[in-house]
């Protein structure tokens, strides 16, 4: 046998082995460009007229062939974020397709950080974030807050559109800044993105094509056999409230039995695993199933405060393949005549995206008699609170309210203090903690205040709260 013929047989055998033994994602490396171009032509968008070129093709190859698992994660995250985005887009009267911009910016990751130090779902740089009212300090980075960062991004996009009167140019300016786009317009003597793009930085030249590819992915992932990787129900069915005291995630994890990584992902705005005390309050998001019990705990600590729910802003975190949905009851709902997914979602306090995900629905169309799966959280019945160490017994001396002529303590307003044998009564006039009071009053230590009042020094006190202070 000729050596060349032998080499041909060996090569053919190796190729055959690769085709039959490697996963399909490796063997099928070609895009059906004719089908993609047809779908793009049929796509409607108020933002960018879809088109197909080499750059769009490159992004689609990444989503649909080279990194399919990443694309499935992105599509899964849409059930979490798109309802939030659409709420803000509706409030600003902006095109709903702008929600796909977050796919380009962060792959729908609230804690994404770029090489240029842009942060969050909408990849804000620090100066722009502060310009649009987002707080950044040692403990808080609101660029990671889905609700606040989305509101800021919508306002920023609205401002850019007001300036350029064209969404392609507004998107380009979102990426590289208004100045670069204005200079490119001036050099090209045109306001058409595809004409001026050669005068823009390379990343910005590719930005609108990337947006087109992301839009295509979210519309046609099923046509490419992509299966969304949806998050666990603990990350979909959540509730947010305002808290005023300091909480560490380690303590919250003890209280709620929610893993710290989930708490961090549900509350990505806090940089050090601590929600700092603040008289104006901070948001805390938990799985809804534990929220009622946590509110009971808060009420027991501060019975004069009512904790009300705030519209939730869910976050996605990747969990192990354990049964993370065991704390939810599956309920079957039969669709009645004339009902819509929107109506059912509103009744069950969930989103249309969630109903479609739970029932693998491709469209929002439903018919009478159709069975829908609804998930209801099992509320935590008994709250496992972290118990304080028992304190030494104190003499239970009465603390009477004395006549005005007996009120007097140095350095304290006369109307706030009552003399007794062992203590004085002090009425809190503003929101402050025991440790704040200890720092402000000469001769008063935090240890004494904690001991006399059986309260932690970090707990925020409301105006009108009466505490004991050791007589000096």
- From the list 469, 415, 462, the residue with the least C-alpha distance to 442 is 469
Beta strands, E only, 399-457: 417-419, 423-427, 432-433
Could you tell me how far CA 276 lies from the centroid of its own chain?
A: 18
d(CA 367, CA 156): 40
**Residues 199, 183: contact at Cβ < 8 Å?**
yes
| Strand 309-310 to 238-243 pairing | antiparallel
> Two tokens at 392?
């030494």
**Residues 374, 400: contact at Cβ < 8 Å?**
no
d(CA 385, CA 378): 18
* Dihedral sign of CA atoms 184, 189, 190, 191 in order: positive
| Strand 423-427 to 466-470 pairing | antiparallel
DSSP letters spanning 144-156: G-HHHHHHHHHHH
Q: Give backbone dihedrals phi and psi of 231, rounded to 5 degrees, phi first.
A: -75, 165
Could you tell me how far CA 190 lies from the centroid of its own chain?
A: 39
**Residues 135, 143: contact at Cβ < 8 Å?**
no
> Two tokens at 109?
């990751």
* Dihedral sign of CA atoms 254, 259, 260, 263 in order: negative
46, 73, 86, 105: which is the annotated catalytic residue? Answer: 105
**Residues 438, 426: contact at Cβ < 8 Å?**
no
Q: Which helix (DSSP H) or strand (DSSP E) does residue 373 occupy?
A: strand 371-377
**Residues 114, 123: contact at Cβ < 8 Å?**
yes
With H, G, I as helix, E, B as strand and everything else as coil, classify residue 202: helix
Rounded CA Rg of the chain: 29
Instruction: Specify whether the backbone of 415 is left (phi greater than 0), alpha (psi in -120 to 50) or beta.
Output: alpha
- The verdict on whether 105 is a catalytic residue reads yes
Neighbours of 289 (CB within 10 A): 21
Cite the active site residues: 105
């Amino acid at each position: 046998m000729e050596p060349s013929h032998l080499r041909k047989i060996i090569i053919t055998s190796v190729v055959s082995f690769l085709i039959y033994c490697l996963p399909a994602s490796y063997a099928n490396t070609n895009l059906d460009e004719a089908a993609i171009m047809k779908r793009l032509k049929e796509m409607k968008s108020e933002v960018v007229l879809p088109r197909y070129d080499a750059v769009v093709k490159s992004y689609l190859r990444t989503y649909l062939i080279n990194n399919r698992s990443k694309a499935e994660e992105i599509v899964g995250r849409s059930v979490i974020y798109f309802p939030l985005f659409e709420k803000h887009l509706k409030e600003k009267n902006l095109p709903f397709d702008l929600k796909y911009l977050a796919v380009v910016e962060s792959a729908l990751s609230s804690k994404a950080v770029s090489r240029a130090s842009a942060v969050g779902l909408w990849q804000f740089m620090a100066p722009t974030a502060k310009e649009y009212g987002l707080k950044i300090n040692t403990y808080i980075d609101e660029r990671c807050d889905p609700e606040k960062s989305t509101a800021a991004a919508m306002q920023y996009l609205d401002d850019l559109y007001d300036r350029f009167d064209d969404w392609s140019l507004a998107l380009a300016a979102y990426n590289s800044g208004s100045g670069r786009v204005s200079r490119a317009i001036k050099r090209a003597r045109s306001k058409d993105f595809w004409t001026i793009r050669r005068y823009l930085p390379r990343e910005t030249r590719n930005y609108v094509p990337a947006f087109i590819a992301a839009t295509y992915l979210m519309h046609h992932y099923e046509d490419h056999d992509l299966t969304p990787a949806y998050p666990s129900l603990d990350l979909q069915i959540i509730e947010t409230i305002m808290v005023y005291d300091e909480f560490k995630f380690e303590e919250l994890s003890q209280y709620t039995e929610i893993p710290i990584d989930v708490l961090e992902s549900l509350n990505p705005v806090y940089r050090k695993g601590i929600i700092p005390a603040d008289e104006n309050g901070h948001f805390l998001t938990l799985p809804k199933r534990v929220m009622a019990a946590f509110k009971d705990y808060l009420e027991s600590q501060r019975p004069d405060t009512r904790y009300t729910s705030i519209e939730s802003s869910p976050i996605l975190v990747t969990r192990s393949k354990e049964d993370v949905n065991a704390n939810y009851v599956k309920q079957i709902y039969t669709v009645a005549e004339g009902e819509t997914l929107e109506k059912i979602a509103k009744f069950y306090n969930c989103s249309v995206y969630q109903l479609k995900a739970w029932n693998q629905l491709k469209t929002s169309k439903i018919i009478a008699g159709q069975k829908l799966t609804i998930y209801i959280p099992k509320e935590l019945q008994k709250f496992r609170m972290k118990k304080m160490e028992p304190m030494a017994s104190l003499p239970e001396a009465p603390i009477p309210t004395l006549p005005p002529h007996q009120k007097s303590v140095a350095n304290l307003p006369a109307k706030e203090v009552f003399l007794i044998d062992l203590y004085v009564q002090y009425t809190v006039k503003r929101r402050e903690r025991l440790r704040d009071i200890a720092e402000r009053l000469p001769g008063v230590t935090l240890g004494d205040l904690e001991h006399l009042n059986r309260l932690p020094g970090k707990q925020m006190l409301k105006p009108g709260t009466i505490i004991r202070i050791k007589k000096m």
